[in-house]
Structure formats: structure tokens, C-alpha cells
Structure 1
């Protein structure tokens, strides 16, 4: 898509975050529902999920796309831990897993208080190595992105996992469908999307902001911002704290105070984003059937 048609400016600050001459590049277009992009700087490639096709794909900087994992167990969200290992949310097996350096898979969490998780969805890792993930019920609603089943958990929770001890803790339980999440650059705040509006119009399509205490608990949780088109699904934070969120008409950029600064318009419904490239200044966008990318004037936060 030409650069002249992809930007919608709502605040002058947005002009300093995007490259006016940069075009939206469509890199791949053979998915059923693309999700979970994560950048591997050491391998110069992007890994992302194609959930209904039950596979994970690899995009390399030379433009080639190949199958990274042909049987992904309906993996959705992905990230890397501080040791560079891949952390993934599997809808099918209803678990959070880690891919070790030798390729073997370690199960990090699949139950809470003796009952199976719903369907882990998105995940981030904090600088202290703790792993935070959301657990909505999307993967057990039907056989399209997982296996249809009755939920065993009473609520759709946000969890904190200490991989050293294996302790799993509920940090938030008042969401309809917790979805994307990301820390502010200084990790003092955790932003979490609620996408329950997808199945219940009485729920707002918004991102909430929590304060992160030293002991790993959360306080606050007020609404920070609302997407005016579609839902907030996955999102990431840039180095100055702006939020780049998926939405129905593209990527919405919000200030740390929740003000809509502008949009990157995308032809397909966006599911998630991540910053990548050698300078972390390329925004990779998963959107329905496709993987897109656009060069930015800002770069991703260290933990994004």
C-alpha cells in the first residue's frame, strides 16, 4: 500500500513517530488467522503463528517465508525470555511452553489449583524473568483455534509465573477476555487488553493500565484507552512509552496517557504487532491472512 494512504494523524506528535515516505509492505498472505509475531535479532528473522492452520512460520530478512513448526498445537501468542528462548501460548494443549535451545519443549504451566487453564493467549517476560500471560476462553469456544471444551477455571485470568519456583499466581481476575499485554519501558505499569466485546457487546473494547508493585502484585486497572474500530488484541510499546495496538482498521497509536495519536491503516483486521529489524524500528503486523511491515521513526522498547 502506498505511503500516502496508510497514515491517519490525530495528534501532531504522531508525525514524529512514523516515516512519512515509508510504505506498508505485505510480506506474506497465506494464513487463516496470523498472530503472535516475535523478532529474533540473533537469527535475523520473525516467528509468527497461523493459528487455525496449526503451524508457526518464519520470515527471514531476505524475504523468504518457511514453516518453523508444522504442528504447533494451535499456538497463539509468542515472546522470548531473557535467555533468548521462545515462550509460546498453546490453545490446543491449553498450556504455556518454552522451546529450549536444543528444540525440546518444556511445559511451564497447564493448570491452576488442579484445574486446566482455559487457552493461554498472549505472553510477556519481565526483566526479573517472571512470565506474565493471559488466559481467555477463545481456544475452547470451538474447534477452529483449539478444541471445544467447557472451561474449568471460574474466570478468565491474567497470571504471573515465576519460572525459578514454578509458582503460578493470578494477578487479575476481573476481565471478560484478557488478551494482549505489555509493560511500560520502566516496567512500572502493565497494560492489558480486554477483547470480550468480540462476543458480548456490553463489554468495552479497551486497554487497562495497572501499577506493578515490587512483590509482583498489581493495583489500579483503570481504563486507559479505547479502540474506536474493532478490538484491541495484541499490542507493543515503543521506547518512549507509546502503545501500538491492533484494531479493526489497522494499528492505533496511543500516548502513555491514553490519547489517540494516530493510526496506521491496514487492509485487513490486525491481530498483533511487534518491533523488529536490526534497529528495532520496523513494525511487523499480523493481520487476518497476512504479515505486513512498515519502517518507523521510533523503535521498540527493550522489553516489548
Structure 2
């Protein structure tokens, strides 16, 4: 009888030990919203991460619905359910700080990705420098119009870090062309439909006066293109720029209708997930994504960096087909 009890106890201990060894790391991703293609690519890249596909990580992707309060509620859920780490792309640079604080108070590491938050409590951040892209896109427009004429600016959601930094870059480029006038400057909230409506209104208010369109993302630049076409105007007579390298924008670049800069959603997402796992396992982890070998200028450095900057890639006639091939 005693031998049977000892054997049962040993078997139970073995099963318990095995279950603990196989316990998944629970990670939540909180992007600001999933309506547009860029963040859909970002979310899909998380699901394709080797640690998720192997079952090592149990991943939940939330939809922030472009609302800071929704994101705060999602953080409360993740804190209550004791997630091991959180990846955060906030809609608002200031409002997101309260969410990070709540996770930090619960001892949950938060990795920033894509958009920034005004908080010193982030463990790490993986994204791209939006001031640089704002300057780059505006410069392509200004170069095309010869540093003279009139432009309009379509901004992202006011208060989001990308809107703030890209506008800073836009203004830096505009300062180099004092003869260029900004006729209109308004947010279209990253939305193609909102941008189309704004551009239709601006074309009516400023007939034959708009030479360039600075769209702080591709969706808005594409909305402006639709408005121009609907007005019966020649798109190629305008200088139009966007940022992100989404699929429709790549086709528009190929058609000579606009310029774009690729923001690597996959690298931002998978890099952040590697860092989330690294922190959840308290450093006992080697990165599994191939993005660390893709970008030699962004070394892993034992997961200890506070900021990992993913480089921008201008979309060109030479690389557009290669980029399109990744979307098939």
C-alpha cells in the first residue's frame, strides 16, 4: 500500500513539474486600432512570430478602437488576468502613461512599439523615428514642386506621437523652402475616407492652387488621390507623399502617383515580442525573430537597450516589386 502511495505521489509530482515546464507565457498586445492595413500587418506579424507558432507564447491582440479609455480598460484586464508582459502602441502620447503605470505597479513589463508614450516606465521601445520620416516625405514633395508653390498637410490623430513627430519633420523641411505656402493643415485621423473628404473641400476652396499634398500616412495620401481623380484632375500634376508602404500605396508608387516610405511593421512587432518574452523570462531568452539579422544597424545587444530604432526604407521603382511580393 505504501509503495503504491509513493508511486502515485511521484507520478503527481512529475506531472505537476511537467505542467509547470509547459506553462505558456501570456503576452498581450494593445495596438491603438486595427481598422487600417498597417496595424493589421503589425498584428499579423505577432501571430507569425516563431514563439507564438510553436506554442511557447499565448498571445492576445486587443483592438484599441482609437480610444485611450478603451486602451486603459484593456490594460486593467491584462493586469487582473496576470499577463506576463504587454506590448503597447498607444493612441495618445500622454493618456497612455496611466495605462503603463497600472501595469508597472503590478510588476508587468511593458514594451512600446510603433507609437510612443510619455512614460519612463517602459522597459524598451521598438519603432521608427517619425521625425525623420516626416522630413523625408515633405522633402520629396518640396523637391518635386521646386521649393515653391502651395501645399496641404493631412495629419494623423492629434496627440499621437507619430502625428507630433511627423509634423515636426514636415515643418523642418518646409523651413528650408520659405517660398512654399501651407494652404491647409488638418487631421484626417489616419483615415482614407476622412482625407478624401478634406481634399475634396480643399480642391473646391483653392481651385488650381494646390501643388503638393503631404500625407502623414499612406491611407490619407491615397484618400487625397481619390479626391483628385474624382475631381477630374491629373494626379501626376500633384506632388503627393505618404508614409508606411501599405499595399495600395506600393501600387500607387509603381503607377507614379505618389511617393512612400516603408515603415517595417513586421520588424516593430516581432522585435517588441522578442523583448516582451525576454523580460517575461527575466533575461533567460534568445531572440527568435529573423529581424535582428535583417537590420544590422539595430543589434539585439542582449535585450538591454531602451530604444530600438527600425530604419526607414524609401519605396522606389527599384524595390517596389520586391516589397509587393511580400504581400502575396
TM-score bracket relative to the smaller structure: under 0.3
Higher-Rg member (1/2): 2
Which is richer in helix? 2
Which is richer in strand? 1
